[in-house]
Amino acid sequence: MNLGFERKRGTPRAITSAMQLYYSGASLRATQKFLRLQGVQVTHVTVYKWIQKYTALMEKYLDKVTPQVSNTWRADEIYVKMRGNPKWLFALIDDETRFWIAREVASSKERHDARHLLHEGAEKAQKKPSLFITDGLAAYYDAYLREFRTQERQTEHVQHISFAQSGFHNNNKMERFNGELRDREKVMRSLKSEDTPIISGIQIYHNYIRPHMALKGNTPAGAAGIEIRGDDKWRTLIQNASHQSKKAV
């Protein structure tokens, strides 16, 4: 059954192969050349349109899925370029499962209001953490006071980052995560806009597709209690998303 897939320009296998290649690090043109070797005659523009279309479809579906994350979360920011302009991608990650809970793009690092990031994370996880670990950026502390520190629940905020052997909390896990993003951005060169679906796709790939050594080959989604069945997880996600979309109509 080809639920959710195009039939004119590519088979489900071609489309999910394109998704896997691109989000694991191949450029659009390298992805196009691989598909042509498999007998699929498409342009790199068509490949990008597939990626845009199915990423947006999956994102809408996965926004409604609640991960079972731990009570320790980490946040950090990474510099990216969008149409050649400097931007900052803020990310909120679960410490135990490595699940990428929430994200947002900002034009400034120092002046950014991170309340939306924390609010979105709490909405996605349906809870607030007991421990929140960040670097010393003031934006995190200000957002923490407004979003995580309440009379009902006193979330602890740790900003002191040091080496693990010193006994202090550190943000090495976020640095590894940032390295993963930097490797992907090198191939993309420059993102097109703040609302590009590509960032969503990177998040989906990180959470639901890519096995992590720290999780013994499991995905963050799997560690967070979300099972994606089948050998081709891209295909499963697209079909589930398409089915859900048709039910909502």
pLDDT (tens digit per residue) in 184-227: 666 565 466 555 678 899 999 999 999 998 899 999 999 999 99
89-144 residue pLDDT tens: 999 999 999 999 999 999 888 889 999 999 999 999 999 999 999 988 999 999 99
Q: d(Cα 218, Cα 212) in Å, to the nearest integer?
A: 6
- Fold annotation for 72-194: Nucleotidyltransferase; domain 5 (3.30.420)
pLDDT at 147: 93
End-to-end, the C-alpha distance of the chain in Å comes to 20
Is the CB of residue 60 less than 8 Å from the CB of residue 21?
Answer: no
pLDDT at 8: 44
pLDDT at 177: 76
pLDDT at 42: 92
Q: Is the pLDDT of residue 21 over 90?
A: yes
Q: Rounded to the nearest 10 degrees, how much is the dihedral formed by the CA atoms of 106, 109, 110, 113?
A: 30
- pTM (2 d.p.): 0.86
- Map out the domains of the chain as residue ranges: 12-64+227-248, 72-194
